[in-house]
Structure 1
Amino acid sequence: MELDGETLREIVVSVVAVSLFIVAVVVIGTNYGGSNLDPTGGLALVASIALFVVLMALVGVFLSR
């Protein structure tokens, strides 16, 4: 099965965006208390989720053009 350029670009951009989110969650988890997040870590985690949603929306707009 051969992938065309557009499909390959969509896959790469999506994988990079999800990888950035996973890295952000791991960094927040290790910097703010491990399994017991302090309130600052919880706020950082919520912010990373919100940024991920905004990033995926921007990726969707970028890929739709």
Structure 2
Amino acid sequence: MERETAVEAGITLCAVALFVVIVVAGGEVSSAGLTESGAYAVIAAIVAFVVVMAAAGYYLSTKQE
């Protein structure tokens, strides 16, 4: 595996792991179910995931030589 491929995979895995952590944390705000603040946390996680993946994709596309 080339170094560039490993870097791309690492960036993607970190972004996905961050998304999963935020969604799990948002879902566990209350044991009674998803509260309003938990719902906002899940929406924020989705938006952050899209932004991070877009930024990572842009970064990786500019690294190609």
TM-score, length-normalised on structure 2? 0.85
Q: Which has the higher contact order (CA 8 A, sep 6+)?
A: 1
Structure 2's unaligned 5+ residue stretches are: none
- The alignment of Structure 1 onto Structure 2 pairs a total of residues equal to 62
Q: Which runs of 4+ in 1 moved over 3 A?
A: none
SS in 2 for 1:26: helix
Q: Please give the root-mean-square deviation of Cα atoms over the aligned residues, in Å.
A: 1.3
Q: Partners of 1:55 and 1:23 in 2: how far apart?
A: 14
Shift of 1:39: 1.2
TM-score, length-normalised on structure 1? 0.85
